[in-house]
Structure 1
Amino acid sequence: MSFRKLIVAGLLAGVPVCATAAVKPLAEDAAAFGTREAASQVAMSPSGKKVVILVAGSGGTTAAKVFDLVTGSASTPVSSTGAGNSLRWCKFGSETVLVCNYGGIVADSAYGLIGYSRLVRVDVDGKNLQQLGQRKSFYDSGLRQVDGSIIDWLPGSGGAILMARDYVPEEGKTDTRISRKQRGLAVDRIDLKSVKSETIERPLPGINGYMTDGRGQVRLRFQVESAAGQLTGKTRLTYRPRGSSDWQPLGIYEDDNEASILPLAIEAQTDKLYFLRKLNGRQALYRMALNGSNDVELVAKNDLVDIDNVTRIGRGQKVIGYTYAEEDRHAAYFDPEFGGLTAKLGRALPNQPLIDFVDASEDGNSLLVFAGSDVLPGTYYFLDRTTKEMSPIADVRPKLVDRTLSPVKSIRYKARDGASIQAYLTIPASSSGKNLPAVVLPHGGPSARDEWGFDWLPQFLAARGYAVIQPNYRGSEGFGDQYKNVNAFKNWETAIGDVNDAVRHLVTEGIADKNRLAIVGWSYGGYAALQSAAVDPTLYKAIVAIAPVTDLALLKSESEGYTNSNLVKEFVGSGDHVRRGSPLRNASALKAPVLLVHGDLDINVGVQHSLQMESALKSSGSPVELLRYPELDHQLVDSNARVEMLTKIGELLGRTIGN
């Protein structure tokens, strides 16, 4: 047995087998689907001989585990408790050193809820844990929420990085000779063994980010505009030609501006910038020469959806393709070798068509590959391009390995105004597909979209016997400006109409029983769940709103005192739609029982939204329950909490629409 398969023994239970799908006890389903991903954020060492995996523990705990693929040894250099802090990722800075990011949300008596993020280095054996950002001082003149970011892993350096580092000056120190005076974002070269640093770009106020060519040269600079302490929504871009120290104007980025440039990557080999810019209302991929000529060429466009990113394998390597999502996600490759490799992997893994190259060794000969589908949550594989050997490393959700999951298919339905709306339909694997209890599950955002693939929440609902429809309502991201329809707060009537029309489509098609319908949503989806039921009080028999926006005026007022306040107010808008589009103001219209779920540390949507909604529903005599988590944020990244939430959802749906 190879040592790679020893990892499988710990994290990979096997491959799903065909079995008779049947509704299982609620407690079993809640545990199977509510438990967090066992393995995530997998990364490879420069030699390709080691991998690091974030492994979920009980509740919200997470451990970074390093596995040696040659010797079979393993270590756990760092972990997090999940209560107010979470380990987000770890990557190899060298063969013996990890760089890890952790962060969370804390309640501050002066500032309220504050999100923070920190970078540390740690030896793979767990020794020499050290902070990479500037250390906090009692005399700091302001908060440092984010201490910095890695902008270049400096391949070939043997263990150094370029870090965009935030510098905060000190105030009130009596000895001014030793007080810190630098302010702004700098670029520092840090030796990860000694943690000694060298300034590459001095700290400058007003600079918010940098981009390199992946080979150690800082080429692009971002400056977010503000006026009177408020962000304007514009980011000015400047660049530096190769070998020059002078910054030259490149353009601006501003959401919904046709001329906006959204930088994705700089390719050192060709001295070109890959970026997104609107073409006929959709994001297209362009390439610009950074030699001073600013020559631009169109690389790719899609007449249906936005291009959303580029693909490159290995640190500092060439861009090899781009990605986009139509009904399912696609990658198009410029590089014929990777196009051919993807085709071969598709044939080798015919049941796992969602294939992604996650990481690579420095020489590119060893690859980490992720593969999954709608009914396979996903597996990480090690691929040796020299020997053509591929071995599984870790299964994402071992608890679901022996479960027969429900297939997901893309459909289209007609909205009341005749518009064609794309959606995903999940039919319980054990069902006839006719006259079922059904749940509509609108996505969050609203500037987001659902995609084809595995999703634990709709799969839980399908396992309970419910047909699930996930509409990409107008207001969803990725389908172009016209479909985005400004946004789904200002034009909530269109978005909410599309949501309700989705479940009516299931009734018309004979898939759903019109007397057994429910709605479940998270974030904007929670808002949509409540508002959809307020618009049509007799349509649904149960409502579940997780971390929902309940009052558009409250959403705007929550931003007061923050630099994005004007942007939030502009996004939501002003006028009668704010009152009419707020579930809190229409609580008396809701008749079906409501389950609210919220974390106290939610800085996306404050817990007051659910507290006030609970109070309003109680005052109007509507049945309501609030499931509240004092130590969790918007995502509720805690297995115990998610299992409890799914249990409560299952109980509510069982009482109201059966299973």
Structure 2
Amino acid sequence: MDRTTDTTALPLIPRAALFGNPRRAGAQISPDGGTIAFLAPRNGVMNLFVAPRGRIDAARPLTDERRRGIPGYAWAHDGRHLLVVKDNDGDENFHLHAVDRETGAMRDLTPHGPIQASIVKLSPRHPGEAVVSHNARDPQWPDLYRIEIATGRSTMIAENPGLAGFDVDEDFALRLAARLEGDGSQTVLRPDGAGGWAPFMRFAPEDAMTSGVLGLFTADGRATLMLSSAGRDTAALFRLDLETGEATMLAEDARADIGEIIVRLHENTPLAYGVNYERNRYVALDPAIQPDLDALDAAGIGDWGIQSRSEDDRFWIVGAASDTAPGVAWLYDRKTRALEKLYDTRPDLADAPLAPMRPVVIAARDGLSLVSYLTLPADGGSAPRPLVLLVHGGPWARDSFGFNPYHQWLANRGYAVLSVNFRASTGFGKAFLNAGDREWGRAMDDDLLDAVDWAIGQGIADPSRIAIMGGSYGGYATLAAMTRNPERYACGVDIVGPSNLETLLATIPPYWEAGRSIFTRALGDPATPEGAALLRERSPVHQAARLARPLLISQGANDPRVKQAESDQMVAALKAKGIAVTYVLFPDEGHGFARPENSIAFNAITEHFLAAHLGGRAEALAAEEIGRSTAQLLEGAEILP
């Protein structure tokens, strides 16, 4: 049988155009509305730039990172500093740095060795300060600090006695905290007035992952916003009275959890909310924002979201994209309702043959509805295709509609691409989320099988040419699927996926200790005989002998979540059984690929691996694509053409 797919009329989209650095990204406006900051390549590495509003082409660089680049940033309310959190080669030891917008000088505000720091609160009431969480005192339990940005002077606000997180208000006053209990429930606490904590409210185990206080306190300090699924299925938005504990519902949706909340600046009263079932949409709660929602919806810019707002809320930075258009950053003036285009993130794709994405809802065998996304090659053909089942990570995450470089890349190479929100995915209510408990490698895998059967039944997929591919949990799903269903998939690609659930739980990062009960509830408790047996049963490494089809594994050597040992032991188990495997290690990466050179290199290897086993197209592999990366091909060198 001819295993090729006829997409020859379509030009190949270069891998570098999809997975290389964007031209510009991450725009944010300064508090005074006069300056735009963004990320862009400088000598091939993503750095921080600033430009006057209205003169984006007059941008100047602030930073000069030479290796890994700036992953993200935030404006301090003083307007003088930008705050950057970055690690070393993916080790997730994140330090907080302040960058002076005038001089570009960068200072470490958390110079405490290997720690994990994060910004908790920035407030216009204290423009020269930040509330920061970090675990320098105890790796497991991050404490709360108030840091003076200009000097780095740090003052502890609260020592962590075993809490999952703290909430402070705009005055940096400690208001609430959360603790995850051993049974999986969540207790919300408040200060007891004597230096300790007192219980305020509780979310049952079945509600703990779909509920919580949002830390948005009203100007008078009497209330906050909360999401809760207690007594219902989907998470609704509530106003929580902090004196009486009374919760007043503000918004709900029967099919999906309430998502993004747009609040009135400085007051934290809700203006609108987003809800995403098949696609995201915004709904106004306050008539004052309705003209803005209408103007942006009518502008023809695709699906949009607010990235940044000026202090007076006149100017918004709006990010917009569609399934066939990469991101565009716009400056929106609320006074005039005018949009000014700032930049295209990937202008090299302007004329590329991008393929539309289609939301589809697939019925699982037990009746659950699986919101999924299908992309077909743009050649107009109708014959069954080779299919790549692209499985998201988490699993407590979701796939969404929009521009997806992996969908575009694979569809351009001749594959149908299907992403499935299997049970345990977030956003679809607590019943759907909790249906994944103790179902790793079983009902969660059944959902993927049901989606594949749907694609075959619809005449979309050629049953003999189906691949499964994913990262993190998606990597686990790949290993589990290929050992549980050895004849279903023609090949698989595992990216930083755990192979042994026992060792995964034994080696989680110390700063995840607060959430250990979430893992044991979902996977199994290794402290009990039943839980330990379940973890072993669901670990693909113990089923390695069942693998019957080609497998490609990739791993970052510095991954603190899914350690290199997870991939090493799977490769060793396969080799012990005489089963061939291709294994690529990246010594300067963590949980995924941050450096575009490494992403391009691995995707080049993946592309040729898929072409060899599914029959799709492949862009010629240039020696420099591998040479510029740090890829170490430990097993399976014959995959390279």
Do these two structures clear the TM 0.5 threshold for a shared fold by scoring above it?
yes
Q: CA deviation at 1:500?
A: 1.6
Matched ranges for 1:120-159 at <5 A: 120-133=97-110, 135-136=111-112, 145-147=115-117, 149-154=119-124, 159=127
Rounded Cα–Cα distance in structure 1 between residues aligned with 2:489 and 2:161: 53
Question: CA–CA distance in 1 between the matches of 2:222 and 2:8?
Answer: 54
- Percent identical among aligned pairs is 25
Q: Which residue in 2 is equivalent to 1:177?
A: none
Alignment check: 8 A CA contact 1:474 1:483 kept: yes
Normalised TM-score (structure 1): 0.82
- Please name the residue that 1:5 is paired with: none
Equivalent in the alignment of 1:262: 212
Counterpart check, 1:520 vs 2:469: yes
> 1:369, CA displacement in angstroms?
0.9
Mapping 1:274-423, distance limit 5 Å: 274-278=225-229, 279-290=231-242, 292-312=243-263, 314=265, 318-349=269-300, 352-423=301-372
- The count of residues paired between Structure 1 and Structure 2 equals 597
* 8 Å CA contact 2:184, 2:205 repeated in 1: no
Q: Find the aligned partners of 1:373 and 1:408 in 2 and give their Cα distance.
A: 9
Shift of 1:38: 3.7
CA distance in 1, matches of 2:187, 2:59: 44
> Equivalences for 1:41-56 in 2 at 5 Å?
41-56=26-41
Would you say 1:616 and 2:573 are equivalent positions? yes
Segment of structure 1 superposing worse, 590-599 or 412-421? 412-421
Residue 538 of structure 1 is matched in structure 2 by: 487
Deviation at 1:591, TM superposition (A): 1.6
Shift of 1:605: 1.0
CA distance in 2, matches of 1:472, 1:379: 26
Deviation at 1:381, TM superposition (A): 0.4
Give the alignment of 1:160-239 within 5 angstroms. 160-164=128-132, 166=134, 185-188=143-146, 190=148, 192-193=149-150, 201=157, 209-214=165-170, 216=171, 218=173, 220-222=175-177, 224=179, 234-238=186-190
Structure 1 549/385 Cα, relative in aligned 2: closer, same or farther at 3 Å? Answer: same
Contact 2:396 / 2:424 at 8 angstroms: preserved in 1? yes
The C-alpha deviation readout for 1:64-101, integer Å capped at 9, x for no partner, is 11111256643222243445x75432324333322222
Relative distance call for 1:393 and 1:287 in structure 2 (3 A) is: same
Taking structure 1 as reference, are residues 629 and 204 closer, same or farther at Cα in structure 2, changes over 3 Å only?
closer
Number of the residue aligned with 2:59: 74
Match of 1:509 in 2: 458
Q: Which runs of 5+ in 2 are unaligned?
A: 1-6, 525-530, 617-641
Aligned pairs for 1:370-519 within 5 A: 370-487=319-436, 490-519=439-468
* Residue 62 of structure 1 pairs with residue 46 of structure 2: yes
Q: Is the Cα contact below 8 Å between 1:64 and 1:90 reproduced in 2? A: no
1:488 shift after superposition? 5.7
Quick one: distance in 1 between partners of 2:509 and 2:30?
44
Which aligned pairs between 1:575-594 and structure 2 lie closer than 5 A?
A: 576-594=533-551
Matched, 1:604 2:574: no
Q: Does the 8 Å contact 2:424/2:435 carry over to 1?
A: yes
What CA distance in whole angstroms lies between the structure 2 residues aligned with 1:474 and 1:277?
20
**1:24/1:464 contact within 8 Å kept:** no
Q: Once the two structures are superposed, what CA deviation does each residue of 1:615-640 show, in whole Å capped at 9, x if it has no partner?
A: 22233333321111011011211111
CA distance in 1, matches of 2:86, 2:129: 18
CA RMSD of aligned residues (A): 3.3
Shifted more, 592-601 versus 73-82: the winner is 73-82
Q: CA deviation at 1:211?
A: 2.9
TM-score norm. by structure 2 comes to 0.84
* Cα distance in 2 between the residues matched to 1:546 and 1:259: 26
Unaligned stretches of 5+ residues in structure 1: 1-19, 107-113, 137-142, 171-182
The AA in structure 1 aligned to 2:84 is C
Residue from 65, 90, 93 that aligns with 1:116: 93
**SS of residue paired to 2:545:** helix
Query: For residue 24 of structure 1, what is the aligned residue in structure 2?
Result: 11
Following TM superposition, by how much is the alpha carbon of 1:189 offset from its aligned partner in structure 2, in angstroms?
A: 6.2
Q: How far apart are the structure 2 equivalents of 1:65 and 1:365?
A: 22
CA shift at 1:262, angstroms? 0.8
Bigger drift between 619-628 and 200-209 goes to 200-209
Asked whether the equivalents of residues 54 and 64 of structure 1 are also in contact (C-alpha less than 8 Å), the reply is: yes
Choose 121-130 or 426-435, whichever is displaced more: 121-130
Equivalent pair of 2:555/2:592 in contact (CA under 8 Å)? no
1:29-51 C-alpha deviation (Å, 9 max, x unpaired): 32222224443332111221111
Instruction: Write the letter of the residue equivalent to 1:597.
Output: S
Structure 2 match to 1:655: 612
Cα drift, residue 579 of structure 1: 3.4
- Going from structure 1 to structure 2, the CA distance change for 1:206 and 1:594 (only over 3 Å counts) comes to closer
Deviates more, 1:365-374 or 1:318-327: 318-327
Alpha-carbon distance, 1:425 to partner: 0.9
